[in-house]
Structure 1
């Protein structure tokens, strides 16, 4: 059969719309009252065009009362051509009228009235009392269709006649379908294959519409790749036998090799025939539970792509009509399977792209544990522009981000990947949310006028117990308190990225320990059946009912906490999107369990801006590390703090403060009132200074600086053993302030 031109992989094919001028509309109304008539006609003309590789197709209804053919459906015709074909007398010398008169195929030139150079093939549509219409396919060049193409056109014409009220209604003999009924069932298969998207859809369609009419009970689809046969679907066979076939070299399966080489179906009526023809296949033959087998080559785009095997548990013979129908089936299924395989490949690539762009796992941080869900639009490419992330910052602070590039598809996913990378890069600079959005807005604007994205970026500080965030066209977060109270700030977000004009507004929330922050995209709460406000109300009710009393609050076991968050995500998604396959927008969800730092794990000291500061800092470090049981780190930590404080005294300005945090690592911070950037420089052998930051980098696991509204903080981290870090996170009863006159629980200087 001539190859079918497939659309982009992943697109579900839809029937071409009917070309209905006034005459066609009148004819369609006259054919039948059934609303499925139009869909039947549209499918017939489209499949007939594909069958012959034509430029278009049309269906005429025969109006016997006036002796005329009325156009009721067409595809691939210009409006002028439709008018020419619209109304034909029975006696006119054109292919449709000749096919109606002779009751058979008419092929050759002289298709359209008045256009002798146009080629076409016409076939009558059968009815109980003679033809009820004509199916015509227009082609570029004249020529006879081959046997398979003729068979498929007969099938389409027979199916159309049965669906449109002209079927013969033949009875079965001995429970077996007649040829006419088989043609109708093959027409149903044609319709099912036209709607099949995945390889599994194709296998299910063939199993449903082919096995019963022929009394078959076994089916195997094999694809030829790299010289081996790979099973892509089966029915009616034990798993062990399919395992023998899957991955078999083509050279070892002689019947299949011969069928694919000659591109000719092979009908085996009994096992003994295989044993006689192919003695080397004895092992496979004995393992097979089937007796009769039909090997059908699947041809698509001019090449053999694989094999469809239809089998029977008992020996049987095959009539010429059965052989013709099954031969027609092989080409039809081959084209459908090739299209489905392209979809499968693109679908797999899309999913892999999405997995690569989103975090594979979310980090387990001292101040935050999280779970997330991404659900692509149910009717789409399974890839979109929603994203989320959880980013570790200095001082155990956590950046949370969720965003939505408007639209869904490969282009939006690529844009999402660029934005996520940009957010992580900007977050590493530890700039505040409003400044981060200003830079991100420039990036989106540079992508073009058609690119927009909504985003929520928040920074949780476990020591100050605050969440600072900015919104760019995005819904605000939902906060779940440990007592089950659910709160969502009533704020108006700034415009989306790409449409906004800085500055962006920064907002702040004070969070009690053990709070849950729920971040989401509009696809989770908004749908065709509810607006965003209704969806938000439903989300809050769901969280209030589900999260209250959950083990997430106060869970000491990290794994139990993560499992709880995962279950909560599942509950939210199933509650808000129970029928996700019908959604038209991507949905993202990020649930973060925010855990505040215990007061006894924070220590701070104000220092004078003079040479005494370094000595005071060293003494304070020795005392505090002794109290924390970290005396073995005293020497290294004293050296780090002494270098940082010394640099502040020499190069910066007051106020100066030292803060220490005990977490999974030991964090030392030195604050000052200068915005001067510290940097490591290469000191020569004769230089008396300039090696301080080199020493800091060598002694700490990592170090850095973050800038505040009127100062900066230089910080270092040192690794701790697990037993040394015990008690890092405060429970629900942890106090909110460091005692002994060190930190009063208020806003830290410059924070």
Structure 2
């Protein structure tokens, strides 16, 4: 039934409920769209009506195959430089290359880039109702097919206007409706035994190719929404882009400071792929052209690509595609796909690849921006946390900062160890709520205030009271929890106060002890006028005490105090064991990083007992970054300490170890370095602390001088491993502690 015939079957005026986009109008639009899709071999057709103010064209009905129907905009501004807007304004049919109308804010609109868009005004007797728009395979301007389709669409639009005009004269509002009606339509196939798109769908199931494409697009979109890292995005692109399109190689390159850097790779690694990493955005390469112009490049074989880029190497690659990864405003990178066999990309395949690339680009931009914020917050937090920890001969400490693995934002956890005179030391652990730069900034302010009040000589309760009032006066809605512990090394007496913080746990020779007694006060900044209370207890020599933040139990499904006690008890009681090793074991017993939704701090302290004999002696040396005399000073420090302890026979060995470890730290970590020398009952312990978290690994074979210069895998560590009775490295969240032990017996 034609559009004009459908009008004659309706003599009576429809009811008000049926008039606005009512059945009579819907029947007309349905007939017109079906005729256009069938006769013009279009993949999609749509009718747009102008709104009351003639400012926008709003879709009334869209018909065609998927995913083309999903790509059509629901509303188009009349003054937009697109085919539909131009046709409405000029009153003439308009043909436009789909690549010129892609809107960056809509990934599915990228589907139109491989097609031609033809629009004709629906006009009659000087009144323009809207526009009839079609999407079809690219048309060659000036060809017979071009002129024929343009003329046919003009006639169909004119026929629809003639059918709508009587309704408008009778006062029936034609639209636009609140939302468009979408109808599935499939073009007639010239060969019923051939699929619509080779390799996609079935010949006997019209529209199956479109639904197959849409399935992959939908799955890709859902997976990208859950992606938290570049690796997640790469794996998702492999599953829903690389594998369905039978590519043998896929690369995702990110644009940063004028160069492309590969952030994801799957499959073989061709010379073309290698050249993509580090390529300049202004270079004469396919990837650079895609970035600068924002349009894809498709090559069916090597010869076709060589025609555009003669310097293309012979590497077994045939068909390939360079797709722009578009972010919120412009291309943020390139997706490179390659196969080992020739392949001509159908228009539908090109369109779907563009849609998928747009989704991947948006996800990659989101992840990279989140990663940048995470790195900024972590860098800020790292600079605010202490690089080294104070110690007493009577107290050995080890600290760990554990960033959350299930979120990209950094938190506000912190720790401190502050020496108070000759025989006292303060242990501090705190946590500012939330994640990100704001939490890290507030953490720095609260940490500074707590340290200042402690150094003024205030006890734990007064320190927290003043810090709480200060936080309440800050321009922030964040609050913080904090635990402050003072230990008297001569008596083992602990004085502590809690501000909304979980209680420390301890373990002695007889097993796990009760958590430090005393109810916590309110978190800092919540109730600044409520006083805090100090509590006391005593520690026996050899007691392990653990201070922590509640992030250690996130993902464990249990109360953080009980969980901390279980983890500490699992370490057993070995008073002479290296505390850094025990801290590593403690971290290993916690939930896996990817299951933790909050960062965490662990501060492990072992009370050695009062200073009753010389086996409690220790010394410390601080070396500034790039100090040319630093290594010599380290050797002199070790020798002088051992001589003062009557351990001269160990001086040569420990001096050599200190020389190698401090050299590595100064060269490779490029940071300030701290040396600690401690005498135990049966060995001398040496610790070298720097800000580089990369562990040193002895290299028994060094392949080149460059390898030896650029890594800590040098021969010096082999010497350390041979001289020391025990040797290892432990990360602490801010860098690492490399330790070595030399037996005294």
Tell me if both proteins adopt one fold, taking TM over 0.5 as the criterion. Answer: yes
In structure 2, what is the equivalent of residue 214 of structure 1?
245
Cα gap change, 1:596 to 1:725, in 2 (>3 Å): farther
Superimposed CA distance per residue, residues 311-332 of structure 1 (whole angstroms, 9 cap, x where no aligned partner): 1022222223323333444444
Question: Secondary structure, in 3 states, of the residue corresponding to 1:190?
Answer: helix
Instruction: Indicate which of 567, 571, 579 corresponds to 1:561.
Output: 579
Task: Answer yes or no: is the 8 Å Cα contact 1:385–1:406 preserved in 2.
Answer: yes
Task: Answer yes or no: is the 8 Å Cα contact 2:33–2:46 preserved in 1.
Answer: no
Within-5 A mapping of 1:676-691:
none
Cα gap change, 1:351 to 1:152, in 2 (>3 Å): same
In structure 2, what is the equivalent of residue 409 of structure 1?
436
Task: Answer yes or no: is the 8 Å Cα contact 2:517–2:535 preserved in 1.
Answer: no
Cα gap change, 1:383 to 1:86, in 2 (>3 Å): farther
Instruction: Indicate which of 300, 311, 321 corresponds to 1:269.
Output: 300
CA deviation after TM superposition for structure 1 residue 93, in Å: 6.8
Task: Answer yes or no: is the 8 Å Cα contact 1:664–1:725 preserved in 2.
Answer: no
Question: Secondary structure, in 3 states, of the residue corresponding to 1:505?
Answer: coil
Q: Which moved more, 1:310-319 or 1:492-501?
A: 492-501
Superimposed CA distance per residue, residues 265-321 of structure 1 (whole angstroms, 9 cap, x where no aligned partner): 22222223444443334xxx23x4522211223344453332211110222222233
Q: Which moved more, 1:373-382 or 1:298-307?
A: 373-382
In structure 2, what is the equivalent of residue 12 of structure 1?
none
Task: Answer yes or no: is the 8 Å Cα contact 2:507–2:573 preserved in 1.
Answer: no
Cα gap change, 1:119 to 1:582, in 2 (>3 Å): farther
Task: Answer yes or no: is the 8 Å Cα contact 1:664–1:722 preserved in 2.
Answer: no
Question: Secondary structure, in 3 states, of the residue corresponding to 1:186?
Answer: helix
> Aligned equivalents of 1:255 and 1:332: distance in 2?
21
In structure 2, what is the equivalent of residue 91 of structure 1?
24
In structure 2, what is the equivalent of residue 443 of structure 1?
470
The alignment status of 1:138 with 2:89, answered yes or no, reads: no
In structure 2, what is the equivalent of residue 588 of structure 1?
601
In structure 1, what is the equivalent of residue 131 of structure 2?
none
Q: Which runs of 5+ in 1 are unaligned?
A: 1-83, 157-163, 602-627, 629-660, 667-718, 733-751
In structure 1, what is the equivalent of residue 544 of structure 2?
516
The alignment status of 1:548 with 2:572, answered yes or no, reads: yes
Superimposed CA distance per residue, residues 99-153 of structure 1 (whole angstroms, 9 cap, x where no aligned partner): 9776643254435xx675443346647689xx99998723454644772559935
The alignment status of 1:119 with 2:150, answered yes or no, reads: no
> Aligned equivalents of 2:488 and 2:363: distance in 1?
56
In structure 2, what is the equivalent of residue 182 of structure 1?
213
Superimposed CA distance per residue, residues 670-693 of structure 1 (whole angstroms, 9 cap, x where no aligned partner): xxxxxxxxxxxxxxxxxxxxxxxx
TM-score between both structures, scaled by the size of structure 2:
0.59
In structure 2, what is the equivalent of residue 9 of structure 1?
none
Task: Answer yes or no: is the 8 Å Cα contact 1:569–1:591 preserved in 2.
Answer: no
CA deviation after TM superposition for structure 1 residue 205, in Å: 2.4
The alignment status of 1:152 with 2:108, answered yes or no, reads: yes
Task: Answer yes or no: is the 8 Å Cα contact 1:390–1:401 preserved in 2.
Answer: yes
CA deviation after TM superposition for structure 1 residue 516, in Å: 0.8
Cα gap change, 1:300 to 1:121, in 2 (>3 Å): farther
Instruction: Indicate which of 583, 599, 603 corresponds to 2:612.
Output: 599
In structure 1, what is the equivalent of residue 517 of structure 2?
490
Task: Answer yes or no: is the 8 Å Cα contact 2:323–2:354 preserved in 1.
Answer: yes
> Aligned equivalents of 1:245 and 1:371: distance in 2?
44
In structure 2, what is the equivalent of residue 369 of structure 1?
396
The alignment status of 1:433 with 2:456, answered yes or no, reads: no
In structure 2, what is the equivalent of residue 537 of structure 1?
562
Alignment: residue pair count: 512
Question: Secondary structure, in 3 states, of the residue corresponding to 2:317?
Answer: coil
Note the aligned Cα RMSD (angstroms).
Answer: 4.5
Superimposed CA distance per residue, residues 557-601 of structure 1 (whole angstroms, 9 cap, x where no aligned partner): xxx331222212331x23xxx5x5455554332222222243245
In structure 1, what is the equivalent of residue 46 of structure 2?
106
CA deviation after TM superposition for structure 1 residue 415, in Å: 0.9
Cα gap change, 1:204 to 1:396, in 2 (>3 Å): same
CA deviation after TM superposition for structure 1 residue 418, in Å: 0.8
In structure 1, what is the equivalent of residue 633 of structure 2?
none
Cα gap change, 1:219 to 1:361, in 2 (>3 Å): farther
> Aligned equivalents of 1:359 and 1:204: distance in 2?
38
The alignment status of 1:461 with 2:488, answered yes or no, reads: yes
Within-5 A mapping of 1:601-640:
none
Within-5 A mapping of 1:61-80:
none
Task: Answer yes or no: is the 8 Å Cα contact 1:123–1:154 preserved in 2.
Answer: no
CA deviation after TM superposition for structure 1 residue 481, in Å: 0.7
Superimposed CA distance per residue, residues 506-544 of structure 1 (whole angstroms, 9 cap, x where no aligned partner): 2222111121111122343477954x3xx4334323322
Task: Answer yes or no: is the 8 Å Cα contact 1:223–1:307 preserved in 2.
Answer: yes
> Aligned equivalents of 1:549 and 1:289: distance in 2?
62
Task: Answer yes or no: is the 8 Å Cα contact 1:367–1:398 preserved in 2.
Answer: no
In structure 2, what is the equivalent of residue 202 of structure 1?
233
> Aligned equivalents of 1:529 and 1:428: distance in 2?
38
Within-5 A mapping of 1:715-734:
721-725=641-645
Task: Answer yes or no: is the 8 Å Cα contact 1:372–1:591 preserved in 2.
Answer: yes
Question: Secondary structure, in 3 states, of the residue corresponding to 1:549?
Answer: coil
> Aligned equivalents of 1:230 and 1:564: distance in 2?
40
In structure 2, what is the equivalent of residue 32 of structure 1?
none
Cα gap change, 1:473 to 1:264, in 2 (>3 Å): closer
> Aligned equivalents of 1:132 and 1:247: distance in 2?
39
Instruction: Indicate which of 583, 608, 619 corresponds to 1:664.
Output: 619
Task: Answer yes or no: is the 8 Å Cα contact 1:96–1:134 preserved in 2.
Answer: no
In structure 2, what is the equivalent of residue 55 of structure 1?
none
Task: Answer yes or no: is the 8 Å Cα contact 1:292–1:312 preserved in 2.
Answer: yes
Question: Secondary structure, in 3 states, of the residue corresponding to 2:448?
Answer: helix
> Aligned equivalents of 1:99 and 1:525: distance in 2?
64
Within-5 A mapping of 1:733-748:
none
TM-score between both structures, scaled by the size of structure 1:
0.59
Task: Answer yes or no: is the 8 Å Cα contact 1:597–1:730 preserved in 2.
Answer: no
Q: Which moved more, 1:518-527 or 1:131-140?
A: 131-140
Q: Which runs of 5+ in 2 are unaligned?
A: 1-16, 38-43, 85-96, 113-181, 187-191, 202-208, 622-638, 648-677, 683-745
Task: Answer yes or no: is the 8 Å Cα contact 2:430–2:482 preserved in 1.
Answer: yes
Task: Answer yes or no: is the 8 Å Cα contact 2:63–2:183 preserved in 1.
Answer: no
Task: Answer yes or no: is the 8 Å Cα contact 1:397–1:461 preserved in 2.
Answer: yes
CA deviation after TM superposition for structure 1 residue 465, in Å: 1.6
Task: Answer yes or no: is the 8 Å Cα contact 2:50–2:57 preserved in 1.
Answer: yes
> Aligned equivalents of 1:368 and 1:95: distance in 2?
88
Cα gap change, 1:568 to 1:194, in 2 (>3 Å): closer
